[in-house]
Structure 1
């Protein structure tokens, strides 16, 4: 019966007619030295993330070029709003080479133009993101009633402006000042992306005695969490208030920096992000980012 597996007999006997004898691999050990299978299944090797031709995902390349965020790129690709070298690409996971021309058609540009960015003067007692420890998120203040009456932007408030609106940065619950909310992935990436180089300016009221070398250390020379901090610009505004200009934003960074040089922060206000100023915006009120304003 040719369907029945071999179960014994002389292994050197001639193979039955019509059945070729298996050819042993030259590197295979003798049969008496072979180990029985232990049930282990070896996973297939992971595919290499590198491509010999240097290509990368289209969505990633769009983000690198500052066209949009990765999430927005996937949305635009699926809708057929992206062209590569003049050809529409609607396949998620498509790859491109660095030299190829990528364009977002007018529908995608219009969708981006409709995305809003809101500037809030956050008061004490609100958290920047999700509600925590019984404290409300600052986003609850983004109501038509709290819009600044002198907002120069004529955009009409719509409930859809709250959809997908997220804070681009943080302010501690005890800190006040400029907090940005945006629907635009390009702005979020510019402000909080790993490669962000946008300045943030703070006015910080302190208590304590600063040692002679303290101001120099605040400017450059301190470390947090085992990592050296990037150079900052720190100077006195008056006898009890410091001006900090940072290009990074570690958690409670300014408060922890001050502790390292013997100072205690008793008040902290963010007054500028990039080229956008808090200005006369009252606490607890908000306005739209004006069309001509750029971070």
Structure 2
């Protein structure tokens, strides 16, 4: 079914910008769809990439446009230790080498070959394991690791050293890396010498460096979730494509906590 949506904003907006903000595609992808004659407003094909849509007008993407966008492959891999997420250095093995038909978990007609550019969306270092997203979908990538992303990443971490209340407090809020304060983290005990980390940022080797600062040494780091996407029962070393429903969930705006009401001048706090 063709993608259809009515524009409700008061101010007109460029079609490519609106499609990008709606999480449908990137601006460049929108311009390509317009050039291919696959975008219409109120039944009229859009020919100008600078065309604006006004309040009350309805935009429709042709079925071919949907098929083209859904053809952008995104997979999840349960990465083992010993593989690098991104560009390998001499002697290293990239995680994309695991995307073979033999390692496929479930079914897929799309087996990525060596020419497919599947980039890591939130890296895992060579000594870490767990959920790794590899994608050629620019919209999804921006939703996960873009500058405005607020998506959670969840890890189970085994450490060596004494886990004190002071260490937990610092891990949750109080540390800085490379001269920059870290965003607050949710850090809880998850068993004997195990911690659960939930972060909303991804600095280089962040968890390992955070633990070093409080006298703990990481012996195992496993990422089990990125936003609503979980590694689930995917075996180590295996991969599968994400489903359309999973992609939609990843692009759905995150619910923001309600802001406290403003106090009127002259009133006291309770």
Provide the rounded CA distance (Å) in 2 between the counterparts of 1:161 and 1:113.
20
The CA RMSD measured in Å over matched residues stands at 2.6
SS in 2 for 1:250: coil
Match of 1:264 among 217, 223, 226: 217
Match of 1:96 among 42, 52, 56: 52
* 87 and 278 in structure 1: CA distance in 2 versus 1, 3 angstrom threshold: same
Provide the rounded CA distance (Å) in 2 between the counterparts of 1:164 and 1:85.
36
Partner residue, 1:33 = none
Provide the rounded CA distance (Å) in 2 between the counterparts of 1:225 and 1:96.
43
* 211 and 116 in structure 1: CA distance in 2 versus 1, 3 angstrom threshold: same
- Equivalenced residues, count: 238
Provide the rounded CA distance (Å) in 2 between the counterparts of 1:71 and 1:134.
36
* 173 and 80 in structure 1: CA distance in 2 versus 1, 3 angstrom threshold: same
* 227 and 97 in structure 1: CA distance in 2 versus 1, 3 angstrom threshold: farther
Matched, 1:125 2:78: no
Q: Contact between 2:100 and 2:111, CA under 8 Å: does it hold in 1?
A: no
1:51-107 alpha-carbon deviations (Å, 9 max, x no partner): xxx876543332122111233223223222233565433444x25378575543322
Tell me the TM-score normalized by structure 2.
0.77
| Structure 2 unpaired stretches of 5+ | 1-10, 251-270
Provide the rounded CA distance (Å) in 2 between the counterparts of 1:136 and 1:264.
25
* Superposition deviation, residue 174 in structure 1: 0.8
Matched, 1:116 2:69: no
* Superposition deviation, residue 112 in structure 1: 1.8
Matched, 1:181 2:134: yes
Tell me the TM-score normalized by structure 1.
0.71
SS in 1 for 2:156: strand
Q: Contact between 1:122 and 1:138, CA under 8 Å: does it hold in 2?
A: yes
| Structure 1 unpaired stretches of 5+ | 1-53
